[in-house]
Structure 1
């Protein structure tokens, strides 16, 4: 089980950070890049360059963060060099080519999740990079403040040994909107061509959290549904998993659920031998001890924190040589779990 490791990383002294100012380049200047760049700036990194095939996007981010070098060609970026770290926040099909290019230039890799579109591609990438450079996957859900509270309480033994866990997410992002495309399509147009949606794009986070809390898991059964019209990928899913010592875990979600906010919210229940933790949207408490334990998190106001925490953990790992909590080998296990959901549901993975 891993719950204590992230807590320990957060407790490491700032003195363990890299003495010299780390130099980083970012590839992919879409929506999520804003939070990545804020995190690098907060960590004191020197953001030396940004790159996007859409030069206008790159120039916009460069202006926001006072970055001097702007590229629309990754090969030119790496040829010019001048940085030790690359943060790859581009679309998933660009992940492997960009990471390979980084390894060939001796540049450490921070790679946005999911690592690759398939486990086979990810395994090939991990083998190609090897140990030539450090390689961490930007899997930030386990670092979100409400999940960190759950992890902390489990690590402190407040509920004893884990016996059962259930996680769910609900959102209306793919529900029809009069006169407009659904919210998530407007925000992430690539979903119109993705044959795998909810589990691959969103609930891979939830599977990673479950692995973090409960240790190794195996998919027993899964069913996928399509409630939205005209989209190739699933928007509804139910999964049954099992872990060590008879642990039963369930995960389900829908992003086509009327009445819920467009951006999904999560609910997690963890039953232990001494108590039960519930995380319901932004509220976390121990059942029967609500008045003493309840914590409420401003999820929007503190959204940046998980990005800051991931970048900090990466820099600490570079500085002291410690293993990244979400390194490429750990993330391979999350990818394998995600892909096995599709296999269990009878969906071909290509």
Structure 2
């Protein structure tokens, strides 16, 4: 097995789940971690047994000469860091969204070219419940899909008086995002739906805002159409009082032979009561991070395509941006 030396850029809240994913890999050494806040980087290094801490990514890359870097930083920093790694022959896995706009992603992908392997850490398609839906739909259990509806609910951006909403407490900068629920949350669902149904086009979109303190939208109603003509609807609200702080999902897949429904943790065919699949959503949250990291490692070692290769992820970005265009929001 080829031993891989990995470095980490970014020690924020989400890095915990990336690092647990890396710990689960065989033949991988975490050589260093970098963050402008040295205290954050040092805390993660101590927690995960990482020997070196840096505050400058270029310095880390020069000192460690890694095989690959996992970029877990704010979106505005992605392109410069990806280019920095590619210029040094370091393979890249980068958190989503890859860049703020499709045009910037296209430019970045062209600059990197084929110099290094390049995957986007878009992990919802690796969630075991969505992966099972994809497998069963593609196996023909519902026949030809005619209609699907994804409902997304959370209180992550709005809460009862006196309580700080979950995401605004963990990542307060999100309150200033001009593009919010589609850019930050539904981009995950769009990629998962692509993995289930294939490519889609945006037909219409309406955006709204419940929490007046936000800069961006927290409600979205979107219609898409698959290449086979199925209508796909996304109904999302991340300022839904009383719902859990993390998004809960309901996905109905209505086909000519049957209907398959994922209701939070339970997945069943509507034509029969049993059997049903009951997923552990807490375990699945970590599993999707580990799954994405595993796919990256496998792709590097075996030279096989990444499921969320930068070119594949570009299609997810185009859907995300297409929703804003359909809603009349300037990019």
Give the TM-score band, short-chain normalised.
Answer: over 0.9
Aligned to 2:279: 297
Q: Please report how far the alpha carbon of residue 246 of structure 1 lies from its aligned counterpart in structure 2 after TM superposition.
A: 2.0
Counterpart mapping for 1:159-178 below 5 A: 159-178=142-161
The range that moved more, 312-321 or 323-332, is 312-321
Superimposed CA distance per residue, residues 185-218 of structure 1 (whole angstroms, 9 cap, x where no aligned partner): 1011111210010000000111111111111111
**Aligned mates of 1:162, 1:319 — CA distance in 2:** 36
Deviations 1:266-322 (A, max 9, x none): 010111221111001111111122322x11111113321111111111111112211
Structure 2 matches for 1:207-226, cutoff 5 A? 207-226=190-209
Please say if residues 124 and 192 of structure 2, whose CA atoms lie closer than 8 Å, have aligned partners that are also in contact: yes
1:310 equivalent to 2:292? Answer yes
Match of 2:52 among 41, 66, 69: 69
CA distance in structure 2 between the partners assigned to 1:251 and 1:327 by the alignment = 24
In the alignment, which residue of structure 1 is the partner of 2:63? 80
- Name which of 299, 306, 326 aligns with 1:344: 326
**In the aligned structure 1, how far is the partner of 2:227 from the partner of 2:71?**
35
Give the whole-Å Cα distance in 2 for the aligned partners of 1:231 and 1:304. Answer: 28
1:283 corresponds to 2:261? no
1:259 matches 2:280: no
Query: Are 1:31 and 2:3 counterparts?
Result: no
- In structure 1, C-alpha distance between the alignment counterparts of 2:241 and 2:164, rounded to whole Å: 15
1:20 aligns with 2:6: no
CA-to-aligned-CA distance 1:34-87 (integer Å, 9 cap, x gap): 111111111121000000011111000100111111001111111213310100
* Structure 1 equivalent of residue 233 of structure 2: 250
TM value normalised by structure 1: 0.92
Matching of residues 140-155 of structure 1 within 5 Å? 140-155=123-138
Q: Do the aligned partners of 2:10 and 2:72 also contact (CA within 8 Å) in 1? A: yes
Once residues 180 and 149 of structure 1 are traced to their aligned partners in structure 2, the CA distance between those partners, rounded to angstroms, is 36
Contact 2:145/2:256, CA 8 A, preserved across alignment: yes
For 2:140 and 2:197, locate their aligned partners in 1 and report how far apart those are by CA, in whole Å. 14
Alignment deviations for residues 131-154 of structure 1 (CA, whole Å, 9 cap, x no partner): 000000111101101111111212
- Structure 2 partner of 1:326: 308
The number of aligned residues is 330
1:301, 1:134 → 2: CA distance? 29
Instruction: Supply the distance in 2 between the matched residues of 1:206 and 1:181 (Cα, whole angstroms).
Output: 25
Gaps of 5+ in 1: 1-18
Alpha-carbon offset, residue 102 of structure 1: 0.5
TM-score (norm 2): 0.97
* 1:199 partnered with 2:145: no
- Secondary structure at the residue paired with 1:284? strand
| SS of residue in 2 equivalent to 1:153 | helix
Stretches of 4+ aligned residues off by more than 4 angstroms: none
Provide, for residues 140-176 of structure 1, a one-character-per-residue CA deviation record: whole Å limited to 9, x for no partner. 1011011111112123222222222111100112223
In 2, Cα distance between the equivalents of 1:196 and 1:185?
15
For the pair 1:53 / 2:46, whether they are aligned, the reply is: no
State the match for 1:95 in structure 2: 78
